[in-house]
């Protein structure tokens, strides 16, 4: 028989908090990717890895905060921990592939298509693998068309986010991009949930169990702590507030490449701007 599904047991609280977490992970990841493009190659993998983990953790946390509001009437839900944490690993690894492609090749057409496709499939895989970790007295069925729409949304969101990360602009640009990314990722989640239908096994009397919030809260502690630490690293990094490094400070910072002087097309150094002296009244021989 069909189960009665409620995806908003706590009203708008879980969707809003889930959206905030998706934006937070996206903002941290985009700033780390931008930072990676401003440093020497030896430092770049570390920043790209931090950005991948931030985006993956943010998306995973968003998913399971949203799932706190998901209930099935008469069928208590449990979560298989190995499968649940495996979905986190899939998110981080596949997002990392896209981040590293753009981080090293730039926001070119081929890199964006490849990285966006891999990252979008990673987001979708995380979602459906996380759903596969649910345990209850029934089974899940999905509408194929709606699932395809959710995957397309994930791929479009990932491509847009990687493009934004490759622009190397200021902090406000990354904030705006992360808000759009959070909206797209959250929209992908609820589109995927709209494709879901639940069929319960005939077990007789409905049973009660722990709430999804009580089951998921302990699992979220680790990713939330990681996002907090990543936020501290990003906030206190001296180059995070700008879209490009300040030349005078960057020369004394580890991991920031030296910037050669700007050259004309003929290969000669650009001339220095003449210092303009204050205007004085010209003195002619007649005025002496």
The pLDDT tens digits for 177-227 are: 888 888 888 999 999 999 999 988 876 555 555 667 787 888 888 888 888
Q: Which residue has the tokens 């996380």?
A: 130
Q: Determine the angle formed by the axes of helices 212-236 and 13-36, rounding to 10 degrees.
A: 30
Q: Determine the angle formed by the axes of helices 13-36 and 144-165, rounding to 10 degrees.
A: 40
Q: Which residue has the higher pLDDT, 33 or 260?
A: 33
Q: Which residue has the higher pLDDT, 172 or 69?
A: 69
Neighbours of 97 (CB within 10 A): 16
Cα separations (Å) of 93 from 19, 115, 143, 158, 186?
Answer: 22, 12, 27, 14, 20
pTM for the model: 0.76
Residue 6, pLDDT above cutoff 80: yes
Once rounded to an integer, what is the mean pLDDT over residues 15-43?
A: 85
Per-residue confidence (pLDDT) for residue 261, from 0 to 100: 45
Q: Which residue has the higher pLDDT, 96 or 288?
A: 96
Residue 6: its H or E element: strand 5-6
Once rounded to an integer, what is the mean pLDDT over residues 41-62?
A: 89
């Amino acid at each position: 028989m069909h189960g009665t599904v409620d995806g908003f047991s706590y009203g708008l609280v879980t969707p809003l908090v889930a959206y905030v977490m998706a934006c937070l992970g996206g903002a941290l990841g985009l700033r780390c990717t931008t930072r990676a493009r401003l440093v020497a190659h030896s430092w770049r993998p570390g920043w790209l890895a931090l950005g991948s983990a931030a985006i993956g953790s943010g998306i995973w946390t968003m998913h399971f905060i949203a799932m706190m509001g998901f209930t099935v009437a008469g069928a208590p839900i449990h979560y298989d921990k190995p499968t649940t944490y495996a979905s986190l690993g899939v998110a981080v690894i596949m997002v990392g592939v896209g981040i590293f492609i753009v981080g090293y090749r730039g926001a070119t057409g081929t890199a964006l298509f490849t990285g966006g496709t891999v990252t979008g499939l990673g987001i979708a895989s995380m979602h459906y693998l996380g759903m596969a970790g649910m345990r209850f007295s029934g089974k899940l069925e999905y509408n194929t068309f709606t699932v395809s729409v959710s995957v397309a949304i994930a791929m479009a969101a990932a491509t847009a986010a990687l493009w934004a990360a490759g622009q190397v602009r200021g902090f406000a640009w990354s904030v705006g991009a992360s808000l759009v990314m959070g909206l797209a990722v959250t929209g992908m989640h609820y589109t995927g949930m709209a494709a879901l239908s639940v069929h319960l096994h005939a077990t007789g009397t409905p049973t009660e169990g722990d709430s999804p919030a009580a089951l998921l809260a302990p699992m979220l502690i680790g990713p939330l702590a990681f996002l907090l630490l990543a936020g501290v690293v990003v906030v206190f990094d001296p180059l995070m507030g700008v879209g490009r490094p300040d030349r005078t400070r960057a020369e004394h910072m580890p991991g920031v490449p030296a910037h050669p002087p700007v050259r004309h097309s003929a290969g000669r150094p650009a001339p220095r701007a003449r210092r303009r002296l204050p205007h004085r009244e010209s003195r002619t021989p007649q005025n002496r």
